[in-house]
Each structure stands twice: as structure tokens, then as C-alpha cells.
Amino acid sequence: ILNVEQSPQSLHVQEGDSTNFTCSFPSSNFYALHWYRWETAKSPEALFVMTLNGDEKKKGRISATLNTKEGYSYLYIKGSQPEDSATYLCASPSRNQGGKLIFGQGTELSVKP
């Protein structure tokens, strides 16, 4: 069974701080790694889809790296803003099961002004 873990479970930072959190997944049979941003009362929004070892993706102040050999991905937020407050989810698809995603439990980020 594919097991995806995220840490920390929650994070409280001040506006302007940079932060990062981790997603770990089984390195064998790696297929892809998805990051989502989920604000309260909204739908989860896709941030990145990562497929290659060493991949690095960036969207504004948010970036992510991928290490498929050791089974982890980091999400970085540079200069956190209050609007970055959300739950960040990572997920890995289960191969040959029609896109079924296995989600981590999420990291809840709170940025105080």
C-alpha cells in the first residue's frame, strides 16, 4: 500500500518568514508527485506535478523539489504572506489504478501579519 506522509502537521510563521515542509513517499515504483494548496471553504488547487528525479518547479514565491531515490519532496515558500495561509497537500498516484491519488495528511500553514 502506498503511504504518503507529510510533516509538520501544522506550522505557524510570521509574515516575511520563509518556510518549508516535507512530503515523503515510497521511492520504489515512483510515478508522480502532486502538490495542492487548499484554502478553507475552497477547492484544493493544483500547484505542481512533479515526475522526474531532481525536478524543481516554481510558481511565484512557492517552489518544490523532488528526490525520487530517497522518496521525498520539499515545498518552499519564500517571504510568507498572510494569503499563503492554507493547507498544503501532497499526493502520489497509484500506478494502474486510474489516477487514484494517495494523499498525505497535509501541512496547515498559518502566516500571521
Contacts to another protein by CB under 8 A: 4, 6, 9, 31-32, 34, 41-44, 46, 49, 51, 89, 91, 93, 98-106
Q: Considering the complex, what minimum distance in angstroms separates the CB of residue 40 from another protein?
A: 10
Whole-Å CA distances, 67 to 18, 89, 109: 21, 17, 23
Q: Considering the complex, what minimum distance in angstroms separates the CB of residue 19 from another protein?
A: 19
- Are the beta carbons of 31 and 48 closer than 8 angstroms? no
Nearer to another protein, 100 or 112 (CB): 100
Nearer to another protein, 33 or 77 (CB): 33
In the chain, % helix, strand, coil (3-state, to 5) comes to 5, 50, 45
Q: Considering the complex, what minimum distance in angstroms separates the CB of residue 33 from another protein?
A: 9
